[in-house]
C-alpha cells in the first residue's frame, strides 16, 4: 500500500491494530519514504484518514553507463531514458548490463528505482589467498567485481569466481559453483 503524507509518498511495511482496554483504538505502523528510503514508526488514531495513491512498478532494463548517467529502457515501450547515477543510490555500483530493475512511479512521476536484492557478479581483481593467513577463520580481503564495486570476501575467493552479492547492504553472500 502506498499513500501520501506530509507531501511525500510512503509505503506501509508493517502495522498492528491496538485496542486498549481504556480509550480509543489506534494503529501502530512502520513506514518507508519511497524517495529516500527513510523508515519511520508512526501511530494513527482510529478513524484518521490518509490519501492512498497508486504506486506503479514499471519494468526497465539497464543498458549501460555513460558520463555519470545510467541508460535505461522501458521494457513495454522500448523508450530509452537517461538517469543520473546518484538517483539510483548506493546500489548503482552493482548494475550489470541487461539487468532488469523496477521504476517506482506515481502519476508518471519517477520516485525511485529498485534493484534486485541479489546479483551474481564475477571477481575482476583480488589478492591471492594464502593458507595460514587467518587467525580465527573469519578474516576477509577486498575484491573488485566486474562492475567496479568493491566488497569484502573470504580468503578462498579468487579472480574469475562468480559471487552472489546482496545489493541492499553490498555484502558477499556466497560463491556460485560454476563448474559442471
pLDDT tens, residue by residue, 72-86 = 998 888 899 888 887
pLDDT in tens, 33-60: 877 778 889 999 988 888 888 878 889 9
Question: Does this chain's domain 56-114 share its CATH topology with 118-176?
Answer: yes
User: Is the pLDDT assigned to residue 28 strictly greater than 90?
Assistant: yes
What contacts 18, CB < 8 A, 6 or more positions away? 25, 26, 27, 28
Query: Exposed, middle or buried by CB within 10 Å (0-12, 13-18, 19+), for 148?
Result: exposed
Instruction: Pick one of 2.40.50.140, 1.10.3720.10, 3.40.630.30, 2.40.160.40 as the CATH number of 56-114.
Output: 2.40.50.140
Domain at 2-53: CATH code? 2.30.30.30
What's 118-176's CATH class?
mainly beta
Strands (E) in 86-149, as ranges, are 100-106, 109-114, 118-126, 140-145
| Domain ranges, ordered by start, for the chain | 2-53, 56-114, 118-176
Distances (CA, A) of 52 to 3, 28, 57, 120: 4, 17, 16, 36
Amino acid at each position: 500500500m502506498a499513500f501520501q503524507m506530509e507531501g511525500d509518498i510512503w509505503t506501509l511495511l508493517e502495522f498492528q491494530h491496538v485496542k486498549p482496554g481504556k480509550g480509543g483504538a489506534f494503529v501502530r505502523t512502520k513506514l518507508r519514504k519511497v524517495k529516500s528510503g527513510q523508515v519511520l514508526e508512526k501511530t494513527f488514531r482510529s478513524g484518521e484518514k490518509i490519501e492512498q495513491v497508486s504506486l506503479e512498478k514499471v519494468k526497465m532494463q539497464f543498458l549501460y553507463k555513460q558520463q555519470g548517467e545510467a541508460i535505461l529502457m522501458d521494457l513495454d515501450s522500448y523508450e530509452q531514458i537517461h538517469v543520473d547515477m546518484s538517483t539510483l543510490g548506493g546500489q548503482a555500483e552493482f548494475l550489470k548490463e541487461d539487468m532488469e530493475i523496477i521504476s517506482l512511479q506515481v502519476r508518471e512521476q519517477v520516485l525511485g528505482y529498485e534493484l534486485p536484492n541479489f546479483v551474481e557478479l564475477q571477481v575482476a581483481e583480488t589478492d591471492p589467498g594464502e593458507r595460514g593467513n587467518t587467525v580465527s577463520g573469519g578474516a576477509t580481503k577486498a575484491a573488485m567485481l566486474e562492475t567496479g564495486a568493491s566488497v569484502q570476501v573470504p580468503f578462498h575467493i579468487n579472480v574469475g569466481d562468480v559471487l552472489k552479492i546482496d545489493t541492499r547492504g553490498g555484502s558477499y553472500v556466497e560463491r556460485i559453483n560454476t563448474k559442471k
